[in-house]
Amino acid sequence: MFGDLISDILSEEHKLLRETVRKFVKERIAPVASEIDEKDEFPENLFKEMAGLGFTGILVPEEYGGFGDDLLSAVIVLEEISRESASLALSLLAHSVLCAHPIMRFGNEKQKKKYLPKLASGEIIGGLAITEPDAGSDTASIKTIAKEKTDRFIICGSKIFITNGSIADVLILYAKTSPEKERKGISAFIYETKSPGFSVSKKFEKIGMRGSPTAGLFFENSPCSKENLLGEKDKGFDILVKCFEVERITIAAISTGIAISALEWQIGHSRERKQFGAPIGNFEMIQQKIADDSANLEVIRTYLYLLAKNYDFKKDNRIETATVKLLAGELGVKASLDAIQILGGYGYTKEYPVERYLRDAKLMDIGAGTAEIMRYIIARVLLKKYIF
């Protein structure tokens, strides 16, 4: 039966988790989702409530106070939250997937014990700082420097478009420790934003994902203890590439969450709205939009759930993760646009959430690697790997 494949992938625990998140989203997020967007203020109270339910501990093993290292659970939580507020899901993703997860995978025991319980409980907020004003898609070209001293690194440089940048206590920060070695001279750090020399340069006014703060950051001779080097010196690019895989899977969950809600609006409105004496759902051009978006959603979402369930961190998953991020990202945008079209004039107003879905969905074509870069990765890996 349609929809059953996903149910087959989920365990009883996953289904229970989905119901718990769904209830919380309906009761606590749905009533304020438009307000979060309108005010563009980070909903700290909701974040704390999510922490109380353990959602900030997704991808953190139980021994460190988390929910468990289960990617499918993370996908479920992020998808459900995104059905009402993609921006809240994005901030949660930056916290858990982009900050806690790299520490869990690449941190030493001391680092894990120091940071993971606090991140899992929401006592501190996390983020990830890669992008710079002159280094976006080309991550290897970052210019931020980390100069090695006896007991510390001194960070100099700037970052841009950092989710949670203005509210984060801890960042996974990428900087060059051996600039002459280019990508092989990048290191990853667990950087505490209370360090001297750190400042937030700018909070960006965005078209979507409002309520999830996006900031520019400055590091002016800012110290970072040697104990906070994540993994080995000059091996940061390997961490970055590996963590992008998990980021792309979870970003896809935000897109499918938006697409589900957009499709629900398409169907609901097509049933109720009458023109020419009949529900508009009777018209084939409306049916085509619903059918295409539903078909794509079913296939992409099933692929996403299977990928999350079977994800093996030790393998090379670049094609699979780029594929799901690309297709889910484009579906989120298309389903939102179709919802606007089906709602007609109503869809073009701010009285309905579908215009917000579109503004939010568009980020997933850009962040964590643009749609063009996803295509580039897929083609490049295939061209190197396979001879047809």
Ligand X SMILES: Cc1cc2nc3c(=O)[nH]c(=O)nc-3n(C[C@H](O)[C@H](O)[C@H](O)COP(=O)(O)OP(=O)(O)OC[C@H]3O[C@@H](n4cnc5c(N)ncnc54)[C@H](O)[C@@H]3O)c2cc1C
Q: Is 128 in the site for ligand X (CB under 6 A)?
A: yes
Minimum CB–partner distance for residue 164 and ligand X (Å): 7
Question: Binding to ligand X (CB under 6 A): which residues in 135-154?
Answer: 136-137
Q: Is 206 in the site for ligand X (CB under 6 A)?
A: yes
Stretch that binds ligand X, among 52-60, 129-137, 308-316, 338-346 (CB under 6 A): 129-137
The Cα-based distances of 354 to 3, 11, 259 in angstroms read 23, 32, 10
Spatial distance between the Cα atoms of 242 and 104, rounded to a whole number of angstroms: 13
The residue behind tokens 């210019």 is 143
Phi, psi of 224 (to 5 degrees): -135, 120
Spatial distance between the Cα atoms of 19 and 311, rounded to a whole number of angstroms: 23
How are beta strands 152-163 and 145-148 bridged, if at all?
antiparallel
Torsion on CA atoms 225, 230, 235, 236, rounded to nearest 10: -100
Binding mask 154-193 for ligand X (x = CB under 6 A): -------xxx------------------------------
Q: Is 130 in the site for ligand X (CB under 6 A)?
A: yes
Question: Binding to ligand X (CB under 6 A): which residues in 266-305?
Answer: none
Of 79, 84, 192, 247, which one is the catalytic site residue?
Answer: 247
In the annotation, is 19 catalytic?
A: no
**Closest residue to bound ligand X by CB:** 136
Minimum CB–partner distance for residue 138 and ligand X (Å): 6
- Answer yes or no: are the C-beta atoms of 188 and 153 closer than 8 Å: no
Spatial distance between the Cα atoms of 112 and 191, rounded to a whole number of angstroms: 14
Rg (the chain; Cα; Å): 21
Coil, helix or strand at residue 338: helix
| Binds ligand X by CB under 6 A, chosen from 96, 131, 317, 323 | 131
- Answer yes or no: are the C-beta atoms of 43 and 88 closer than 8 Å: yes
Nearer to ligand X, 60 or 373 (CB): 373
Binding mask 361-380 for ligand X (x = CB under 6 A): --x--xxxxx-xx--x----
Binding mask 208-227 for ligand X (x = CB under 6 A): -x----x-------------
The residues annotated as belonging to the active site are: 247
Residues that bind ligand X (CB under 6 A): 94, 127-131, 136-137, 161-163, 206, 209, 214, 363, 366-370, 372-373, 376
